[in-house]
Amino acid sequence: MGIRGLGQAREWGAAHPGAVDAGIALLVQAAVTMPFVVPRPPELPPATWTAYGLTTLTVLPLVWRRRAPMAVLLAVVAASALYRLAVEGPGQPLPYQGLVCVYTIAVLSPPWKRLTAAALLLVAVPVSVWLNTRSARELTFSLFVFGAAYVLGRLTDARQRAHLVEAERAAARERARIAREMHDILSHAVSLMIVQAEAGPVAVRKAPERAEAAFEAISATGRDAMGQLRRMLGVLREEDAGDGRSPQPDLDGLPALLDRVRAGGLDVRYEVSGPVAGVPAPLAATAYRIVQEALTNTVRHARARTATVRVGRSGGLLTVLVRDDGRGPASPGAGPAGHGLTGIRERAAAHGGTAAVGPGPDGTGFEVRAELPVPSGTEVGT
């Protein structure tokens, strides 16, 4: 069975705990049946159905081991004592029922119940050895196997807790990723639509031909945003959607993005240098979102007339630069950029890169610069 098969088996077991416990009880029953079917030496009395029935009575409580592990341990100890005192039946090479109980208590029970179980066994095990062989060898071996079952249970509990923590962290990372995607899509679209809507009444009075273009730009921006949201929600609904990260925008989508921004009145120049066609899809999607968010901030806050977008690849580094000639973040009334700049830094950091924001090189305007390492071995496009 491969790793995939083991994962499916674990998922099935987690969904059907009762069936798993019944299977464990049947397996233990098969193990304790062996001494009854193997011929006994002539000097020993033959095994009886009464003895076998009492043996089964020690196994039956294991079906409820998860629901009440301490009660199951007490029932097993009591049934085992009755078997030992009331009948002359075959002995068992291992205390299978007790080992299953100890393992279950170590995995599921709080500390005080684990201490109670340990105290009970420290009494029950020596008594059982005294009634059986009264040998130090058997006592040592019994204490060892019970201790091993307890340690295995605690290790299982620690592994399960680690998996749960990692699953929670992964869920938190995915929620943050989806929030960034939703923010980028909606913030960009709404910002452009607001700019066009505010310019519409003026255009209707002074340049009717521009008003029609403004309304067309609003419609196109809205349709594009709805399309992206539908694709994202469709991926989230898919049961076999992999890691849920596709479809994603890429660098080929930047010209269309810039056209929508230009329709809002901002003159955007686009420059590409280096073999950017070979950039991996996740990295290309990050570069697209960084450009989108930077231009959204420009449209919302900068009151800029022109902006420049540069995407270049040199060796193992992809550089994304967005610069405008607006009033900059320190100008009166500029307003904060919200969560967008934080999202840009988070996107860059997720790929081991960096993002710097601040005034342009001559102290005017605003600049966003991100440097993203390209994984080694990535094929260079043409």
Domain match, 126 and 238 both: no
DSSP string, 23-49: HHHHHHHHHHHHHHHSPPPTTSPPP-H
Tokens encoding 179 = 């929030």
Total domains present in the chain: 2
Domain match, 228 and 324 both: yes
* Residue 314 β-bridge partners: 317
Domain-embedded: residue 204: yes
Report the SS3 class of residue 317. strand
Residue 296 pLDDT: 85
Four-residue CA torsion sign, 358, 361, 367, 372: negative
Domain endpoint, select from 92, 108, 134? 134
Domain match, 315 and 267 both: yes
| Cα 125 to Cα 28, 107, 137, 163, distances in angstroms | 19, 21, 13, 34
How many Cα neighbours within 13 Å face the side chain of 123? 9
Contacts 24+ apart (CB under 8 A), 238-246: 244/174, 245/177, 245/282, 245/285, 246/281
Residue 151 pLDDT: 93
Domain-embedded: residue 266: yes
Domain match, 235 and 347 both: yes
Domain match, 122 and 172 both: no
Residue 232 pLDDT: 67
Domain match, 172 and 79 both: no
DSSP string, 338-371: TTHHHHHHHHHHHTT-EEEEES-TTS-SEEEEEE
Domain-embedded: residue 4: no
> pTM of the entire structure?
0.57
Domain match, 195 and 118 both: no
Cis-peptide into 201, omega within 30 deg: no
Residue 25 pLDDT: 92
Which residues make Cβ contacts (< 8 Å) with residue 216, sequence separation at least 6?
A: 263
Report the SS3 class of residue 1. coil
For 78, other C-beta atoms within 10 Å of its C-beta total 14
Could you give the CA distance from residue 382 to residue 282 in angstroms, rounded to a whole number?
Answer: 19
Q: Helix-strand-coil percent breakdown of the chain, rounded to 5?
A: 65, 10, 25
Domain endpoint, select from 87, 119, 134? 134
Which residues make Cβ contacts (< 8 Å) with residue 62, sequence separation at least 6?
A: 21, 24, 25, 28, 72, 76, 97, 100, 101
Domain match, 186 and 242 both: yes
Domain-embedded: residue 210: yes
Domain match, 58 and 195 both: no
Domain match, 333 and 194 both: yes
Residue 378 pLDDT: 62
Tokens encoding 19 = 């069936």
**Residue holding tokens 């539908």?**
230
Domain endpoint, select from 86, 111, 134? 134
Domain match, 210 and 88 both: no
Residue 308 pLDDT: 94
Could you give the CA distance from residue 160 to residue 65 in angstroms, rounded to a whole number?
Answer: 18
Question: What string of pLDDT tens digits covers the 382 residues of the chain?
Answer: 555 666 677 777 777 888 989 999 999 999 999 988 888 787 777 888 888 998 999 999 999 999 999 999 999 989 988 888 888 788 888 889 999 999 999 999 999 999 999 998 898 888 888 877 788 888 899 889 999 999 999 999 999 888 888 888 887 877 777 777 777 777 777 777 777 777 667 666 666 666 666 677 777 777 777 777 776 666 566 544 444 444 578 898 899 889 888 887 889 999 999 888 888 888 998 899 899 889 888 888 888 889 999 999 988 899 999 999 987 654 433 444 455 688 888 888 888 899 999 888 878 889 999 999 998 766 554 4
Q: Is 66 exposed, middle or buried (0-12, 13-18, 19+ CB in 10 A)?
A: middle
For 174, other C-beta atoms within 10 Å of its C-beta total 14
Cα end-to-end distance, the chain, whole Å: 43
Angle at 37 between CA 35 and CA 41, to 5 degrees: 70
Report the SS3 class of residue 271. strand
Residue 330 pLDDT: 46
Four-residue CA torsion sign, 302, 261, 189, 317: negative
Domain-embedded: residue 6: no
Tokens encoding 263 = 């329709």
Instruction: Write out the residue range of the structural domain in which residue 295 sits.
Output: 168-373
Domain-embedded: residue 180: yes
Q: Which of 70, 77, 150, 64 is nearest to 116 (CA)?
A: 70
Residue 345, domain CATH: 3.30.565.10
Report the SS3 class of residue 380. coil
Domain match, 182 and 294 both: yes
